[in-house]
Amino acid sequence: MTDFKTELAGVAHAVEQALAQHLPRPAGDHAVVTKAMRYAALGGGKRLRPFLLVEAARMLGGDTDGALLAGCALECIHVYSLIHDDLPCMDDDDLRRGKPTVHKAYDEAIAVLAGDGLLTHAFALMADARVHPDPALRLRLVAELAAASGTDGMIGGQVTDITVAEDARDTALITRLQAMKTGALIRFATKAGGLIAAAEPHDLMALDRYASALGLAFQIQDDILDVEGDMETVGKAVGKDANLGKATFVSTLGLDGAKQKARELGQTAGAALAPYGEKAQTLLGTVDFVLERRH
Give the binding site for its own copies (CB under 8 A): 24, 28-30, 32-34, 37, 80, 84, 87, 89-90, 107-110, 112-113, 115-117, 119-121, 123-124, 127-128, 135-136, 138-139, 142-143, 145-147, 149-152, 155-160, 162-164, 173, 176-177, 180
User: CB of 181: closest distance to its own copies in angstroms?
Assistant: 10
Among residues 173 and 255, whose Cβ is nearest to its own copies?
A: 173
Instruction: Tell the smallest beta-carbon distance from residue 16 to its own copies (Å).
Output: 20
38/58 with CB nearer its own copies: 38
Query: Least distance (Å) from its own copies to the CB of residue 221?
Result: 23
Nearer to its own copies, 58 or 121 (CB): 121
Cβ-in-10-Å burial (0-12, 13-18, 19+) of 276 comes to middle
- Residue 230 Cβ, how far from its own copies at the closest point, in Å? 30
DSSP code per residue over 172-228:
HHHHHHHIIIIIHHHHHHHHHHHHHTT--HHHHHHHHHHHHHHHHHHHHHHHHHHHH
> Per residue in 96-106, is it b (16+ CB within 10 Å) or e — as a string?
beeeebbbbeb
Of residues 165, 146, 166, the one with CA closest to residue 156: 146
Q: How far is the CB of 134 from its own copies (least distance, A)?
A: 9
Q: Which is nearer to its own copies, 183 or 266 (CB)?
A: 183
**Judged by CB, which is closer to its own copies: 170, or 230?**
170
Distance from C-alpha of 30 to C-alpha of 32, rounded to nearest angstrom: 5
Intra-chain end-to-end CA distance of the chain, in Å: 16
Task: Give dist(CA 71, CA 51) in Å, integer.
Answer: 7
Q: Which is nearer to its own copies, 119 or 255 (CB)?
A: 119
Please report how close the Cβ of residue 39 comes to its own copies at its closest, in angstroms. 14
